[in-house]
Chains A and B, each alone.
Chain A
Amino acid sequence: MTLPPVSTKPQPVPVEDEKHRVQLEEVGQDLLLQTYVMMKTSRLYDHDNENYSRQLTRLMEVLERGFRLTNVVKLHAADGYFFFNDKRLRVRLDGYLANKYVQDVLETMGAGGFAFSEGVERSALDQLFRRICTIDPNPTDDEASIEKIHAEFESLNLPKIGLAPRMNLSSSGSKPKTIREKRRMAKQIFFRAVGAAGEAVSQMAIDKPVNTTQLKRIVHSLIDQILSDETYLLELTALKNFDDYTFAHSINVSIYSITMGLRMGMSKQLLAELGFAAIFHDIGKTRIPKDLLNKPSALTSSDWEKVRRHPVDGVLVLSSSMTLDSHVARAMIVAFEHHKNLDGSGYPYINRTADLNLFSRIVAIADFFDALTSGRKYQEQFIGFNEALVELTKQSGKRFDPSLVRLFLRILGVYPTGTLLLLDSGELGIVISNNPEDIFRPRVRIIANTGGFVEKSSVVDLTAKDASGDRYLRNVRHIVDPKKYNIDISQFILADST
């Protein structure tokens, strides 16, 4: 490659006024999208194909627009975000797919991004994408193979095209490299978060002050993990068999909420407030007598009155345990509103002029879904994950914000993480992640077949097709209720295998 490394001083950029900033954002978003389109198109079509050619022309046009603003156009990824000429691009609601795909490809290439210099030729771009399309975009553990691929790209020496090195912007030590390491790290973060939530709630239950600094760090680690790859933490939300599910529930709600917030394009600061607020949405329940919380029989009207007070108690517990700042303020509002419905019904029955807060609307969805799937004593009987989604949808528009419900469905997919599926290949598998390209076809960990448990469980992508490209290799037959057979899915989720 002939360009200087990306880490040298940036080319002079014109004085930043609002118009310039908007132009940079627009070009950056278009470049990211067009890079994604090129990566996909080069995989689907031959390089003399008209469609491929048209997309390559579009890419050139986008680059030209970039060169009018600066003479080196850079697109690179770090910690889940994309940067255009060192300016972070906003996350777009419909941009998740493109973001994820391009990031995964870059990671496989062992690169952080691309840099294009003014005058870059069509032939060089063509060569770049012809090489990219030969890479398997799925995450791999094979560091040696990543290095090999990276070296191959470097040796192409494409004029006016450079590869940016990988960059790690967040805190907390070295980045995990392999999938196994990433899963381990996610598990550690998750269980630490559950532990921290437990400690904080226990302190607040006895009216002791809480160290918000530590809690914020926990939330930041959740966010960093989700930014890096949400699938690992979402997988862990399927764990339900905690002795005291309260704390895991609060972290699950936090994870769901943060993921939704990220997809909406929230800033890190807002994500931190959202994650923090979600953890404490039910803190008022520390004021409900334990025997009432665990009461197996139906609640009386007096019981319900006590239960319905918990949003108000939540506000008071939060305000007395922590110094009021933006995080605590959010938490207070969410604690108060998370049982208030979009149509104005719900509780507590205190009239306020303020609209139902966005964060409350997000947490309400996450709380409803996780509560429904946790099988807690005073809830209805346990229902499966995707049945819970159907329930959620039925309440959309009345209880829940419809655009947020749709967003949530997109995140979880038809078969949310933890769903047990029987495949037409005669295999039993647990969904470990949604497939954003096709929410009907998740990624599944195979655990058993008619011969029994598989010796080494593997992960299969249900979008995978046979050699002809016409038929899917595997299809979902139906969902299996694990409770019916006493299958503990947590042991498979917690397994270290990749």
Chain B
Amino acid sequence: MLTETKARYPLAVSDFLTSLCRGLKTSVLYPPTSTIPSEFKRICWDKLQSALSDSTRVDLEVTRQNILTGGDIVYKSTPGEVSLSETLHRDGVRTIRIYPSISRDEFECLFDRLLAVYSRRESKDDIVNLFWEAGFESIEYEAVDSFVPAELSPAAGEVTLDDNAIGNIVKSEGEQPEAKSESESPATRDGVKFPEVFGSVQTVSEDEKAAVSESLEHDQEGSIELVSVDLLFDIAAAEQDYHEFLKVLDNIDNVFNRLLKAEFFPLLIYLMRKFRDSAADWKESSRQRSERVRESYHRCGDRIRISQITQILNRSEHENIEQVRSYLEELDSSALAQLVWMLGELKHYPARKLVCDLVVAMGRKRPEIVASGIYDSRWYVARNAAMILGEIGSEKSIPDLRKASEHEDERVRWEATISLSGFDTDAALEHLARLVNDPSERIRRQATKRLTERRFKPAFDAILSFIESESFGLVTPAEQRELFRALGATGADRALDYLKKKATKRSLFGGGASRHQRELAVGAMAELEDEESYRLLKEWTTKKGELGEWARNSLAKRDRVRMKTDESR
């Protein structure tokens, strides 16, 4: 039984470490709200319990490449992956012992600290310090220091006294008058006697306990980091000399930069607010200082900082996203151009959506800033700008969207098309009419669809022109149908004449092309709203053959549309 247990133990520890690594990896990949990391954590906890049931404790020895227990390798680093053993070894951990008394809370604490280092960022603490701060009760560890500061010892004193001399000192001191009582020490200073000073010190009164307890509680209210930021601004405000003031501001800017590198977003956000609020507060008293602080605020959204944040967001799909949102929400329109740029650099959809939503919200007041992106040489910036202008929906942007609709890159034109489709104005629809013969199918069809919906009469010529062109024969049957419908929707009388001729024209040689166009023409008549076309359709329904059938279909469709229109009225 004991042999079996002994044999099982390394396997159980190996299982535990494997599940630990999986749990850590998963926690990095999935958002905090996902249940998947917690599930992996739960499995890891179970594995640990299993390992502990086979032994009085889990003993781990850490080397750079491996983790061992009782001489057996229970974890090996995998090339190309973040290594648990290397992470621990790098920070100095050499052994870890986990006792069976470990609680679930303590395990979660261990896991969280390993995760902090596993997904390591610059300037975060190392694992030994994190372990120490955790104050584990059932986990022991041993660590080495990678550094050894020089030991600074006091200067060696010269021994000037010999036995004789010291003996004489003792004698002469002994000849001095004795203290009157034990508690009356001779060293009284300015009349303050020791019993008065020290007499009651040993007793701790309830008041004293309460005072100390209150001090401790009061200290824990609020955030000490925020207090220190307030302190910096108080110092800045108190500086009489402008150059000293500038030094303090430079200092605060450096604090900001370091915090951004450490990705400490809550404090960054607080700092941004302080910049913004201070700029407002000081506007009356000192314009110069107010402007300087405002510069600091605007720097929070400059290209360098936005680039850093982009890199952070690109590292992982879900990590940091909410904190970054809070950060970006604090920026004003001065950061708009950078945010538009940022959209083109983001790899993951959640981040792009976040930034897009923000830019839309911000851009409503300053669409011209967003529009400037249309003229950027990079296609993706122009594309993003076109997309956002559509979301914003300001008519002032229509000329810029027109420009975008003429872009050499199809992807930009496509976004412009979608954006223009969102407008209900003639100006936008006129631009769409030009896109009916765009080289890109999806652009053409989108434009056609929108023009049909809006029954935009000025588009008739463009549509007709395309239908009559050689290109028409090269498009898909579905698109052809849409074009004819568009013709009907935009044409009125002119459309009727054309469609009537098309519907009744027979090709001398028969054949698909002409027949198909005849069918399309009859179908398109369902789009017409006048009585003459209705009467004609009704007349054709009595005809035998294809024409009759097409007419009946078209009429039925038209009746449905009419009914719908009547119902909606």
Contact with B along A335-363 (1 / 0, CB 8 A): 01000000000000011101101110100
Which residues of chain B (172-186) have a CB below 8 Å from chain A? 173-174, 176, 178-179, 182-183, 185-186
Nearest chain B CB to A314's CB is how many angstroms away?
11
Among B232-240, B280-288, B451-459, the one that faces the other chain is: B232-240
Residues of B within 8 Å of A391, CB to CB, are: 189
Residues of A within 8 Å of B230, CB to CB, are: 352, 354
Residues of B within 8 Å of A7, CB to CB, are: 56-57, 99-101
Which of A167, A268, A272, A422 meets B173, CB within 8 Å?
A422
Query: Are B100 and A354 in touch, CB under 8 angstroms?
Result: no
A14 within 8 A of B: no
Residues of A within 8 Å of B164, CB to CB, are: 452
Query: Are A168 and B234 in touch, CB under 8 angstroms?
Result: no
Query: Are B251 and A384 in touch, CB under 8 angstroms?
Result: no
Residues of B within 8 Å of A8, CB to CB, are: 56, 100
Among B79-87, B216-224, B310-318, B506-514, the one that faces the other chain is: B216-224
Which residues of chain A (423-464) have a CB below 8 Å from chain B? 424, 426-428, 438-440, 447-453
- Residue among A88, A359, A401, A403 with most chain B CB within 10 A: A403
B154 within 8 A of A: yes
| Closest residue on chain A to residue B192 by CB atoms | A390
Query: Are B56 and A171 in touch, CB under 8 angstroms?
Result: no
Query: Are B235 and A312 in touch, CB under 8 angstroms?
Result: yes
A51 within 8 A of B: no
Which residues of chain B (252-272) have a CB below 8 Å from chain A? 252, 254-255, 258-259, 261-262, 264, 267
CA A482 to CA B56, docked complex, whole Å: 55
A127 within 8 A of B: no
A301 within 8 A of B: no
Query: Are B170 and A449 in touch, CB under 8 angstroms?
Result: yes
B167 within 8 A of A: yes
Query: Are A407 and B133 in touch, CB under 8 angstroms?
Result: no
Which residues of chain A (221-262) have a CB below 8 Å from chain B? 239-243, 247-248
Among B64-72, B203-211, B467-475, B481-489, the one that faces the other chain is: B203-211
B565 within 8 A of A: no
Among A31-39, A129-137, A178-186, A191-199, the one that faces the other chain is: A191-199
Residues of A within 8 Å of B57, CB to CB, are: 7
Residues of B within 8 Å of A465, CB to CB, are: none
Which of B135, B161, B212, B231 meets A487, CB within 8 Å?
B161
Which of B125, B173, B232 meets A478, CB within 8 Å?
B173
Contact flag A248-B137 (CB < 8 Å), given A7-B99, A333-B228, A352-B231? no
Among A42-50, A148-156, A322-330, the one that faces the other chain is: A322-330
Query: Are A86 and B137 in touch, CB under 8 angstroms?
Result: yes
B126 within 8 A of A: yes
Query: Are B103 and A86 in touch, CB under 8 angstroms?
Result: yes
| Closest residue on chain B to residue A193 by CB atoms | B149
CA A99 to CA B255, docked complex, whole Å: 43
Nearest chain A CB to B204's CB is how many angstroms away?
4
Residues of A within 8 Å of B149, CB to CB, are: 192, 195-196, 198-199, 214, 218
Query: Are A452 and B185 in touch, CB under 8 angstroms?
Result: no
CA A440 to CA B184, docked complex, whole Å: 10
Which residues of chain A (255-283) have a CB below 8 Å from chain B? 264-270, 272-273
B2 within 8 A of A: no
Which of B151, B224, B254 meets A194, CB within 8 Å?
B151
Which of A83, A485, A490 meets B154, CB within 8 Å?
A490
Query: Are B56 and A452 in touch, CB under 8 angstroms?
Result: no
Among B33-41, B140-148, B379-387, B393-401, the one that faces the other chain is: B140-148
A10 within 8 A of B: yes
Query: Are A450 and B174 in touch, CB under 8 angstroms?
Result: yes
Residues of B within 8 Å of A83, CB to CB, are: 137
CA A447 to CA B161, docked complex, whole Å: 12
A122 within 8 A of B: no
Contact with B along A379-402 (1 / 0, CB 8 A): 000001011011101100000010
B377 within 8 A of A: no
CA A315 to CA B231, docked complex, whole Å: 9
Nearest chain B CB to A462's CB is how many angstroms away?
10
B8 within 8 A of A: no
Query: Are A407 and B225 in touch, CB under 8 angstroms?
Result: no
Contact with A along B156-173 (1 / 0, CB 8 A): 111111111111011101
Residues of B within 8 Å of A448, CB to CB, are: 166-167, 169-170
Contact with A along B486-515 (1 / 0, CB 8 A): 000000000000000000000000000000
CA A359 to CA B227, docked complex, whole Å: 13
Query: Are A407 and B216 in touch, CB under 8 angstroms?
Result: no
Query: Are B232 and A319 in touch, CB under 8 angstroms?
Result: yes
Query: Are B137 and A94 in touch, CB under 8 angstroms?
Result: no
B201 within 8 A of A: yes
The prevalent SS among residues of A at the interface is mixed
Contact flag A350-B238 (CB < 8 Å), given A171-B132, A448-B167? yes
CA A332 to CA B252, docked complex, whole Å: 13
CA A351 to CA B135, docked complex, whole Å: 38
Query: Are B178 and A199 in touch, CB under 8 angstroms?
Result: no
CA A92 to CA B204, docked complex, whole Å: 11
| Closest residue on chain B to residue A213 by CB atoms | B126
| Closest residue on chain B to residue A389 by CB atoms | B197
Query: Are A394 and B190 in touch, CB under 8 angstroms?
Result: yes
Query: Are A324 and B137 in touch, CB under 8 angstroms?
Result: no
Contact flag A86-B101 (CB < 8 Å), given A195-B152, A220-B129, A241-B155? yes
A124 within 8 A of B: no
Nearest chain A CB to B97's CB is how many angstroms away?
10
Residues of B within 8 Å of A266, CB to CB, are: 216
Query: Are B167 and A324 in touch, CB under 8 angstroms?
Result: no
Query: Are B166 and A93 in touch, CB under 8 angstroms?
Result: no
A157 within 8 A of B: no
Query: Are A195 and B151 in touch, CB under 8 angstroms?
Result: yes
Contact with B along A209-220 (1 / 0, CB 8 A): 000111011101
CA A476 to CA B186, docked complex, whole Å: 10
Query: Are B166 and A323 in touch, CB under 8 angstroms?
Result: no
CA A320 to CA B370, docked complex, whole Å: 36
Residues of B within 8 Å of A240, CB to CB, are: 154
Query: Are A486 and B162 in touch, CB under 8 angstroms?
Result: no
Which of B53, B129, B228 meets A216, CB within 8 Å?
B129
Query: Are B152 and A409 in touch, CB under 8 angstroms?
Result: no
Query: Are A352 and B234 in touch, CB under 8 angstroms?
Result: yes
Nearest chain A CB to B470's CB is how many angstroms away?
68
B78 within 8 A of A: no
CA A198 to CA B154, docked complex, whole Å: 13
A473 within 8 A of B: no
Which residues of chain A (261-318) have a CB below 8 Å from chain B? 264-270, 272-273, 312, 315-316
Query: Are A486 and B160 in touch, CB under 8 angstroms?
Result: yes
CA A403 to CA B210, docked complex, whole Å: 10
Query: Are B128 and A171 in touch, CB under 8 angstroms?
Result: yes
Binding site for B on A (CB under 8 A): 5-10, 78, 83, 86-88, 92-94, 167-173, 188, 191-192, 194-196, 198-199, 212-214, 216-218, 220, 239-243, 247-248, 264-270, 272-273, 312, 315-316, 319-320, 322-326, 328-330, 332-333, 336, 350-352, 354-355, 357-359, 361, 384, 386-387, 389-391, 393-394, 401, 403, 406-407, 409-410, 414, 422, 424, 426-428, 438-440, 447-453, 475-480, 485-488, 490-491, 494
A-B complex: 9 closest residue pairs judged by Cβ atoms = A452-B163, A488-B157, A329-B228, A191-B151, A94-B204, A196-B149, A195-B149, A478-B186, A194-B152
Binding site for A on B (CB under 8 A): 52-53, 56-57, 99-101, 103, 123, 125-126, 128-129, 131-133, 135-145, 147-167, 169-171, 173-174, 176, 178-179, 182-183, 185-190, 192, 194, 197-198, 201-202, 204, 208-209, 211-213, 215-216, 218-219, 224-225, 227-232, 234-235, 238, 247-248, 251-252, 254-255, 258-259, 261-262, 264, 267
Task: Using A324-B264, A390-B192 as known contacts, list a sample of 6 further A-B pairs with CB atoms less than 8 Å apart, ordered by residue number in A.
Answer: A171-B132, A192-B149, A357-B227, A410-B201, A448-B170, A450-B170
Contact sample, A vs B, 7 pairs, CB 8 Å cutoff: A92-B209, A319-B251, A323-B264, A329-B228, A390-B192, A410-B202, A479-B187
